[in-house]
Amino acid sequence: MTYPSSMRIHGTPFYPLTHDLEEVQDHLSEFFLYEDYAYLVDQALSLLARIRDEVLPETPVSPLQDLTGINRLTVKTEEQGLTLETTKQSDAELEKLLFAIHRNSHIRLLVEARGYAIHSAIRSQIGGIDHLADDILVYLFSAVKASQTLMELGNWMHDVEADLFERQGAGTLEGAGERLADTRENYREVYSTLINELRSENLRGEIDTAIQSSIFLSEANNSRLLASVYPSLDEARRQKESFQLLQESKREASAKGGKKLLRGHEWAFHFLADSLSHLAYDECGVKRSKRSLVILLIEEILPKELEKQLKRPNPKGAPTIPAEKTLSGNGAKKPGWLKQLGYDELPETKDARSS
């Protein structure tokens, strides 16, 4: 088996298990659009940190090379190499295996389309890993998905600013790059206007990026949860849980309608994705009607959650509560968030979920 050398964030090698994740966050936070998608980035990095604690508890981190000069806002991508510094050969082996999982599209097909358990799908495609426990393989699958979240967002944020610099003639007009960099540093409102005009031209691309990143992160969280309980599950249960969790991931961000993640509503979408299976039931464990759930969300639950959002150091954009039509839908072509997040598939009583 030939392993790929690394993952990449806009051209620069990224090693999810051994790079300094604080440096990765620092680099990504230098993008102008980072604040809009900080929630996804931060969640992905936190998840990687927890996975490291499980599979590489004593591994030192390695410095991250400059991600193609974010501070200098260069639009040129440079190929850079990196030598791993690990204390154990097994650490490097797991990192290489992670890259192999990332590159093997058949693993994703077996898990998502055919219902294979994650560990079984990996073993069927990659040899020489009989000595690794099943839960380690699932943790690596989770790390792949968290890393794909970072790559999806990092590449998009980089490309937006790179496109702006190119359109402003930074590579051809004398002094254009310096003037735009100065605008970015000292006249952020002007720079924001330029960025937003560019984003409005490809709103569909941004929505697709946000949804795909949410899917990756959801799959990462679900597979990590599965890995954490793997040692206590028998084989039949593993098969069932693996399939169910990944099906939930697909439902959480299945629709790609243009208004599903409007600016200011992202926090509510992610909150409901994490909490719907609990909020959908009343104190007696009976499933609420969609209408009563929508009223409860708008009048009580989401306002309280919004207060928490506004107390955060850097709330994304201007958080607002989504409208009733966004939550419940308006016609067959607009099913609404509750349906997209799996409300219809939930059983009528909470106890029935575990039966």
Write out the DSSP string of 144-208: HHHHHHHHHHHHHHHHHHHHHHHHTTTTTSTTHHHHHHHHHHH-HHHHHHHHHHHHHHTHHHHHH
Q: How far apart are CA 269 and CA 289, in angstroms?
A: 19
Identify which has the larger pLDDT, 15 or 10. Answer: 15
- Return the number of other C-beta atoms located less than 10 Å from residue 55's C-beta: 22
Confidence (pLDDT) at 98: 92
What is the DSSP secondary structure assignment for residue 297, as one 8-state letter? Answer: I
Query: What is the pLDDT confidence band of residue 234, given thresholds at 50, 70 and 90?
Result: low
Q: Which two tokens stand for residue 184?
A: 């970015």
Determine if residue 336 is left, alpha or beta; phi over 0 gives left, psi from -120 to 50 gives alpha, anything else beta: left
Residues 6+ apart with CB under 8 A from 227: 54, 135, 136, 138, 139, 141, 142
Contact 271, 307 (CB under 8 A): no
**What are the tens digits of pLDDT across the range 273-289?**
888 888 888 888 888 99
Q: What is the pLDDT of residue 42?
A: 93
Distance CA 77, CA 26 (A): 19
The stretch 90-113 carries a mean pLDDT of 87
Predicted local distance difference test score (pLDDT) of residue 44:
94
pLDDT the model gives residue 90 = 67
Per-residue pLDDT averaged across 137-141, rounded? Answer: 94
